[in-house]
Amino acid sequence: MSTFKVQNPVVHLPSISLHQLTREVLETLLVKNWEWHKLKLTDNLYFVPPWEDWDKIFQYEMKSLPKYVPEKFDCENLAGYLRIMVAKDFGCNVCGDAEGYADFQDGKGPQRHGWTVFTDGEGLYQVESQMATGYHIMDIDNPFYVPDELVVG
């Protein structure tokens, strides 16, 4: 008698395209769009998807984010995890983990926080790394998220 093993459905990586930017070009873009107190670029060559491919990337990655655990695996850990997984799965190293101040409109005022900043090679955008579903892409000048540190690479 045979037995069948039921497997989870195979999830395929979405197809994206990438173009290259040098460290100098990326740094110029980042500094042109925002004033950073601390900016760390860890590579010399950067691989950048076009705007329309970021939705595919986030749709794929946000589904597998680990659970938020205060003080153990919290906001800055999730931002770092998302940066690493985007590089691992898509070969894209322009998704950075940012830190700064976020105002969650909870009456507590701006609080130190970590989230994700990324680029399509033209603009600079942000996404809340803790949103496993229903993520929302924000412009870099969103007044509720004000990054001052960024690690990209």
Q: Is residue 1 part of a domain?
A: no
Domain that holds residue 94: 19-152
Number of domains the chain contains: 1
pLDDT confidence of residue 25: 98
Rounded CA-CA distance 89/13 in Å is 8
pLDDT over 90 at 138, yes or no: yes
Q: Is residue 6 part of a domain?
A: no
pLDDT band at residue 130, thresholds of 50, 70 and 90? confident
**30: part of which helix (H) or strand (E)?**
helix 23-33
pLDDT in tens, 54-96: 999 999 999 889 999 999 999 999 999 999 999 999 999 999 9
Q: Is residue 10 part of a domain?
A: no
